[in-house]
Structure 1
Amino acid sequence: MDEKSLSLWSTTKYHNHLKETEYDEIAREAAITIMINGEQYATIVCTPNDIRPLVLGFLASEGLIRSAEQVLKLTVDEDKGFAYAELSTWVEFAERTERWIGSCCGKSREFYLKQDVKTAKTIYSFIQFSAEQVYQLMADFDKKAEVYGRTGGVHQAALASAGGIITSAIDIGRHNALDKLYGHIMQNRISLKDKCILFSGRISSEVILKVSKIGAGLLIAKSAPTDLALKLADDLQITAVGFVREHKLNVYTHEKRVTGDPSHRDVRFSN
């Protein structure tokens, strides 16, 4: 069992009128308080693994750093639930109150628009993936979703090239999964020019903004988008692909990054 991601819980189960008790594997949840230059900045509710990449990705998403080198020192005390970051940059704490960032869906981050204006990027990459490559990447992505398969309680994000998945991250919070991925990219100085991001959840406006901050031009997701997400993706020149299931997918924006089999003719659907 993955001790950092999973725990066991005694569960009473009914099947019709039959009752039994089993131990279920449950996704773990913990609070990590981020201290910046000796002061408390935020508390994140997360899956307590890959904390260092999570903190790096979070700080970058917040616009506090632009590279891992700006973090002079990062110490994680998992037992006490603290991460201590010393930054080379000055952070404004005036008129701030303690923030608690939950793992639930929906807008949970403060300074949503202010921070996004500072950190969101228009993507100019010219990568192309075939529809067949997208299908295969999602199939490989599903195979890596072990913790989701065992608990049903986490999100997953992955970085991939046309050749396959490079790295993946899980968390109970969709933002945290993307931040962990972002932190890994920063730590390893991975170029995003020929990469895409795979995501297990729906495509919300916040997810598009996060992908923009990371710098990827192609987002491949299993679920549906929102209209605001697609407006943002169109504006930020991100290709949003949703409902990737078996050999079906929807390309909503900037379709030039996804190509079909040239031997197949176009079919136009109408109501």
Structure 2
Amino acid sequence: MEEIMTTRRKIKSYQDGKVTEIEDIVATEYPLTIRVNGNEFATMVCTPSHLEEMVIGFLASEGIIRIFERDVTSLYLDEDKGFAYIETTAEITPSIHDHTKRFIGSCCGKSRQSFYFQNDVRTAKSSMSKEKITFKQCINLMNALQSSSGTFHETGGVHNAAICTQEGIIVSRTDIGRHNALDKLYGHCLMNKIKVQDKILVFSGRISSEILMKAAKIGVGILLSKSAPTELALQAAEDLNITTAGFIRGNKMNVYTHPERII
């Protein structure tokens, strides 16, 4: 199936007391059901692009796979019907498949108690990154991410994310779902053996606790956002040794956790 990220629709537009009929561009939404080893695992509503990467990244973040070549024996997309069929060497146990159970425990040995999903405890990693970046480089990377997304400029209805070095973007992905955009990046890195421990994750959406945990699973040590963080996300970032910066707009930004990496 051709990747169709936008579609055109005739709408009525109201401005300054006048109603006109115009053609607008809207983001495409697509449901994809993932079946793992013959069993239905999850249905994701996404932008229909880079679907294989998204499936691999999602399953890696859920702890189903770790090494693409070793753990994935086959992957087939029936895009017309909206199914992804994946065979893995992993045994899918009820505890892995249950996305609703929370684990209560201290993160990284700290005394503060935090709530995490069970699979977060198994797959989230404390960052060991020694990477550093300047304030100016942070702003340049955010500007590069925003200017590179034609779909966002057309629709205003998608999230953008990129894996970067200090000098620029290595790979960027777009999706209506902020989690999906990160899963596509994660999948791309796994499928192409890109080491991310020394890389920077640049993201257009807010840093919620779930986004922070996704960044930890990917393995980056620096997370830059155009938007705001939440307090629970910042607590997790402190525990997992991840540098977070938000509100990167124009020539301004805020650094919230582990500021020693931003010089």
CA deviation after TM superposition for structure 1 residue 95, in Å: 11
Name the counterpart of 1:121.
125
CA deviation after TM superposition for structure 1 residue 203, in Å: 0.8
CA deviation after TM superposition for structure 1 residue 145, in Å: 2.1
Matched letter for residue 27 of structure 2:
A
Name the counterpart of 2:247.
243
CA deviation after TM superposition for structure 1 residue 149, in Å: 1.1
Question: What are the Cα deviations for residues 14-58 of structure 1, in whole angstroms up to 9, with x where unaligned?
Answer: 112322111111011111000111111111111111100000000
Name the counterpart of 1:72.
73
**Aligned ranges 1:74-223 → 2 under 5 Å:** 74-93=75-94, 110-111=100-101, 113-223=117-227
Cα distance between partner residues in 1 of 2:3 and 2:51: 14
CA deviation after TM superposition for structure 1 residue 92, in Å: 1.8
User: In percent, how many aligned pairs have the same letter?
Assistant: 45
CA deviation after TM superposition for structure 1 residue 175, in Å: 0.5
Asked if 1:4 is matched to 2:4, the reply is: yes
Counterparts in 2 of 1:3 and 1:63: CA distance versus 1, 3 Å: closer
Matched letter for residue 88 of structure 2:
L
CA deviation after TM superposition for structure 1 residue 150, in Å: 0.7
Name the counterpart of 2:50.
50
1:232 match: secondary structure: helix
2:93 match: secondary structure: coil
Name the counterpart of 1:263.
none
Query: Given the two structures, how large is their TM-score scaled by the length of structure 1?
Result: 0.87
Cα distance between partner residues in 2 of 1:95 and 1:56: 16
Question: What are the Cα deviations for residues 61-80 of structure 1, in whole angstroms up to 9, with x where unaligned?
Answer: 11101111211111111111
Query: Given the two structures, how large is their TM-score scaled by the length of structure 2?
Result: 0.90
1:138 match: secondary structure: helix
2:11 match: secondary structure: strand
Counterparts in 2 of 1:23 and 1:219: CA distance versus 1, 3 Å: same
Matched letter for residue 84 of structure 2:
A
- Kept in 1, the 8 Å contact 2:3–2:49? The answer is no
- Kept in 1, the 8 Å contact 2:76–2:85? The answer is yes
CA deviation after TM superposition for structure 1 residue 193, in Å: 3.0
Question: What are the Cα deviations for residues 100-122 of structure 1, in whole angstroms up to 9, with x where unaligned?
Answer: xxxxxxxxx63461111111110
Give the CA RMSD over aligned residues: 1.7
2:257 match: secondary structure: coil
Flag structure 2 segments of 5+ consecutive residues without an equivalent: 103-116
Counterparts in 2 of 1:3 and 1:190: CA distance versus 1, 3 Å: closer
The size of the alignment, in residue pairs, is: 247
Matched letter for residue 81 of structure 1:
G
Counterparts in 2 of 1:94 and 1:255: CA distance versus 1, 3 Å: closer
CA deviation after TM superposition for structure 1 residue 249, in Å: 1.0
Name the counterpart of 1:30.
30
Flag structure 1 segments of 5+ consecutive residues without an equivalent: 98-108, 260-271
Question: What are the Cα deviations for residues 142-176 of structure 1, in whole angstroms up to 9, with x where unaligned?
Answer: 11121111101111110000120011111111111
CA deviation after TM superposition for structure 1 residue 94, in Å: 8.2
